[in-house]
Amino acid sequence: MLSSLIVVFHKLNAFLSTISGELLKQSVELVLLTLVGYMLFVEWRKKQDRELKYLIVGFFALAVARLIAVLFLSQAVFENFFKLFLLDKFTVLINGLEIFAVIWIANTFMYGISDKDEVRKKLRLETIILILGIIFMEVLWVIRLQHLPRSGFLFNFPFAIFEGVKLIILIYPVYYRFKHKVQDVYYNKATIAFVVYSFTPLFNLIRHLFFHGVSGKLTILAHPFPFLAIVLFIRAIFLKLADKRLIETELELTKKKYEETKRLTRIKDEFVSIVNHELRTPLTSIKLYLALLRDKKLGPVTAKQNTAIETMNKESNRLLALINDILDVAKLEDKDADKNIKLNTRECDLHTLLDHQAYKTLADEKHITIVNKIPKGFKVSIDGERFQQIFVNLFSNAVKYTPEQGTICFGATRNRIFKTWQFWIADNGRGIAPEHLKHIFDRFYQADDYLTRKEGGTGLGLTIVKHLVELHRGKIEVSSQLNKGTKFVITIPNSISG
Amino acid sequence: MEKKDNQNQQKDNKKTLKKEAKEGKATAPKRTVLIIEDQDAIAEAERIILQDQYNVHLASDGLEGLKKARAIKPDAVVLDIMMPHVDGFEVCKQIREDPSLSHVKIVMVTSKNREHDEQKGMGIGADDYIMKPFEPVELLHVLKQMLG
């Protein structure tokens, strides 16, 4: 079995080394190259890609070189054998075209991984050098044909130059790949093709340098590589094209999703804005007229009526707080909150910032003792207004759950090692059960329906606090023991940017 | 012409003041405030709040507001932002572009609570900003600060 395969292989090789075999090989390559060139051209018409343009030029140049070879080989095979010598006159052109093609193909793959302007400059320079080289070689060729004996080292030397140049151009992308440790998968696939292709000029170079251009074994050995290399190039190119298309489709999808998200965000913003307007407008009227009634601008008010006015005012304040909370959550839960909400960060004295009479009034009703343990002159870099919002939410929560004559204590410490500072607030209220603890920052979550309803609240305060702390690049933690109290600890980096 | 009219008006005002001083009336004349607000209930409440201390005029939308502002040349405008046809920002811009209204102080009253609206309002020439809902004392305070 193996021996018969070897016989077939030898016969095939023997056939390929004849002129008919060469014609067959060149014809197959011509068809293949034309097809690839055409497919690339179709692709290029859809999308004017520079890499594709370079490849088309390269593959068509190779196809033209093969076409010239096929034309003269077929003349030799089908008409007159001696006309084969005519081919000799076109050797410079055929080799020139092949070198030209290799330059363009190699640079195409370089284009995908290297500085695009550099590659363009390199390509232009190499093409100019090549044209000059072809003119020089053409002159050399005429001299060679007219003045040199048809054997010997010098007669074969121009062939050696062609093969040497091809070898250098083919090896350079391989050298580049190892020097720069290129990770591009398509470039690496093409590198294999460059290596495969380079065997042909290598064997031809050896043949022309050391065997006066005549060596049956080296000729046979050099045969299959360009064909194999072309197949490998095609594989690399079409894999890249397919992936590019996939990426483009994904990009298109992502763009559509992005547009859709933008549209929805706009709708949400408009909705929030309209709701805001529609809720605040009647509330403004209510509060203004209540104030006018209270200030007796609309006539005398009895004591009973005054109590009713106060109740209505208190309730409208609750309603306002709810609207503000909902709008705050909508704003803070936006995924672009980081970008949209700018912190007005400045250095604040935390002790003074939180030592406000308004907070004390909140606790007065329940005779709660407030202990401010923040060291005097404790300077931190924060958005003062936002931090007050954090504090108000935590403080009013503590007031809500602390029994009469209880204690609320808050303070701050600095951690110089981690370059952070901590704010803590603790109460001796009824505490939070462990099963509720992990949910307390969820919006609308309330640990105890009955009590919360009795105490009031929307279940949004702690959600807002968490978002505001995160906006300060910080974190909030909570610990609690039932019937003993709850403690919130906020950790914020020393320097934050808005 | 307009300048002359203004000068004449100022002269008349001074004369009236001197006259009043002679007659023992030391109180300064009431300043004029134009309220541009599309919600009638709010506009009316604002009028009641301001009427003791200011001459109050009302306009129920942006276009009417601009017309009245040009006609009565108020000292201050209390301007709502969200209004049909011409919004408060546009009214503010047009007042600022009108040289005869360069003295007018503008307070924007809005139901929005977004920072960029405040910045936008201030950016196009509003002098101050209050947010709905507000207490009567807030509006009076802002106007007192601006008009003295």
The helix (H) or strand (E) run that includes residue B104 is none
Assign residue B80 the CATH number of its domain. 3.40.50.2300
Residue B119 is assigned to a structural domain of this protein: yes
Please name the amino acid found at residue A64.
Answer: V
Residue B41 is assigned to a structural domain of this protein: yes
A21-26 contacts at long range (C-beta below 8 A, 24 or more positions apart): A22/A69, A22/A73, A23/A70, A23/A73, A23/A74, A23/A76, A23/A77, A25/A223, A25/A227, A26/A66, A26/A69, A26/A70, A26/A73
> What predicted TM-score, i.e. pTM, was given to this entire model?
0.52
Average pLDDT over residues A262-278: 80
Residue B143 is assigned to a structural domain of this protein: yes
Residue B36 is assigned to a structural domain of this protein: yes
CA neighbor of B77 nearest in space, from B21, B23, B37, B119 = B37
Distance from CA of A173 to the nearest CA of B (A): 55
pLDDT over 90, % of chain B: 52
Neighbouring CB atoms inside 10 A of A191's CB total 21
Average pLDDT over residues A167-172: 89
The tally of domains found in chain B comes to: 1
Outline where A383-477 has alpha helix (H): 384-401, 434-437, 449-455, 461-471
A206-212 contacts at long range (C-beta below 8 A, 24 or more positions apart): A208/A156, A208/A157, A208/A159, A208/A160, A208/A163, A209/A153, A209/A156, A209/A160, A212/A151, A212/A152, A212/A153, A212/A155, A212/A156
Mutation pick from B39, B80, B111 vs chain A, by most beta carbons of A within 10 Å, is: B111
As for the ipTM of the complex, it is 0.77
CB distance A35 to A62 below 8 Å: no
Mutation pick from A285, A297, A323 vs chain B, by most beta carbons of B within 10 Å, is: A285
**∠ CA(B142), CA(B145), CA(B148), 5° rounding?**
130
How far apart, in Å, are the Cα atoms of A70 and each of A66, A77, A99, B140?
Answer: 6, 10, 18, 98
pLDDT, tens digit, 9 for 90 and up, residues B89-134: 999 999 999 999 989 999 998 775 555 666 677 778 889 888 888 8
Residue B15 is assigned to a structural domain of this protein: no
Most confident of A52-66, A134-148, A222-236: A52-66
Neighbouring CB atoms inside 10 A of A218's CB total 19
Record: contact A284-B134, CB cut-off 8 A: yes
Task: Compare CB distances from A287 to B82, B112, B133 and report the shortest one's residue.
Answer: B133
CA distance A293 to A324: 25
Residue B47 is assigned to a structural domain of this protein: yes
Q: Confidence band (pLDDT; 50, 70, 90) for A437?
A: confident
Does A368 or A86 have the greater pLDDT score?
Answer: A368
| pLDDT for the residue B71 | 94
Strands A485-493 and B31-36: unpaired
Q: Which residues pair with A236 in a beta bridge?
A: none
pLDDT score of A449 more than 60: no
Please name the amino acid found at residue B82.
Answer: M
Residue B2 is assigned to a structural domain of this protein: no
CA distance A266 to A263: 5
Residue B59 is assigned to a structural domain of this protein: yes
Q: Which residues pair with B59 in a beta bridge?
A: B36
Distance from CA of B147 to the nearest CA of A (A): 22
Q: Which residues pair with A259 in a beta bridge?
A: none
Record: contact B42-A297, CB cut-off 8 A: no
Residue B39 structural domain: 30-147
pLDDT score of A122 more than 80: yes
Q: Strand, coil or helix: what is B117?
A: helix
CB distance A20 to A77 below 8 Å: yes
Average pLDDT over residues A429-458: 69
B97 interfaces chain A, CB cutoff of 8 Å: no
pLDDT, tens digit, 9 for 90 and up, residues A355-364: 876 677 777 8
Q: Confidence band (pLDDT; 50, 70, 90) for B42?
A: very high
Task: Compare CB distances from B133 to A292, A320, A341 and report the shortest one's residue.
Answer: A320
CA distance A29 to A200: 15
